[in-house]
Amino acid sequence: MDKCHSLKFDFYFVVKIFFLTTIISLFLITFSEAGKKKDKDEKDCVYCKKYEKLKDWPENERPVAFIYEEINYPKGMFSKQRKTSKLRQAEAGKKVYQRFVKGKSQLNKYQHLMIRDMAYFEALFNEMLNDPKASVETLEGLKKGREAMRMSLQISPKAKASEAVLKFWATGKMLTIAHKKNKKKRKKKQKVDPEIAERAAVLANMKKQIATAKVNAQRAATIEAQKKIEEAN
């Protein structure tokens, strides 16, 4: 019963990851298409038509989703040197580019890292909200991607960035541990114990010797029988 439940859970989780990867791929394609539209002066946004930079957009006129949040990021997410918002934004942007742009073809292969790095996507968006020079159009595009990623772990679009960061980071960490354990199991299956291998070789050799002895005995019996027949004649 437990095994059946586990298999069922694994199946649903795999399906969930598959749809998540598909959503992210679609988002990346959409984001790429949005970049092409820029050349045609077509803006796929709402607030960017009124405000170009974040500094032009008064905070008291912004929806909650576009207001910066002071976050106590999980231990190990950012190096100790990244003390300023600008430095955290740069590091998060690098992580997001490496995982979701440069490494988008390997999202299925490294699903545990994909989930973990969604925390960096959240951090990137949040830290950009603290940058007066940030493009409002870019922020609106990133917000759409953020909402698509949140769907994967059933995180509300209205949830605080801190909540989403912790959930993505913790889930990614858990999946990384599981990934390492599975990797070790696969290695153990591939590696054969030398003692067992030696015993198997001895047993195989004995079987071969027994088979040879059996054949030789049958031959000897046949020759002996033939001799007796000839003597009788």
For 70-99, the pLDDT digits (tens) are 999 999 999 888 889 999 999 999 999 999
Q: What is the pLDDT of residue 81?
A: 81
- In this predicted structure, the answer to whether residue 222 has a pLDDT above a threshold of 60 is no
The answer to whether residues 35 and 139 belong to one domain is yes
The SS3 call for residue 71 is: coil
| pLDDT of 12 | 45
pLDDT at 16: 53
| Mean pLDDT on 159-179 | 93
User: Each residue of 112-150: pLDDT tens digit?
Assistant: 899 999 999 999 999 999 999 999 999 999 999 999 999
Cα 43 from chain centre: 32
**Opening angle at CA 35, ends 39 and 141, nearest 5:** 130
The confidence score (pLDDT) of residue 152 equals: 80
* Pair (157, 214) in one structural domain: no
The answer to whether residues 68 and 86 belong to one domain is yes
Task: Tell me: do 22 and 95 sit in the same domain.
Answer: yes
Q: Which of 134-138, 162-166, 172-176, 203-207 has the lowest mean pLDDT?
A: 203-207
In this structure, are 20 and 61 located in the same domain? yes
Q: Are residues 217 and 129 in the same domain?
A: no
Q: Which residue range is the domain that position 210 belongs to?
A: 192-232
Give the count of domains, the chain. 2
Contact (CB, 8 A) for 121 and 146: yes
- Same domain? For 76 and 104 the reply is yes
Mention every residue, 6+ apart, whose C-beta is less than 8 A from residue 155. Answer: 163, 164, 167
Burial (0-12, 13-18, 19+ Cβ within 10 Å), 92: buried
pLDDT the model gives residue 184: 72
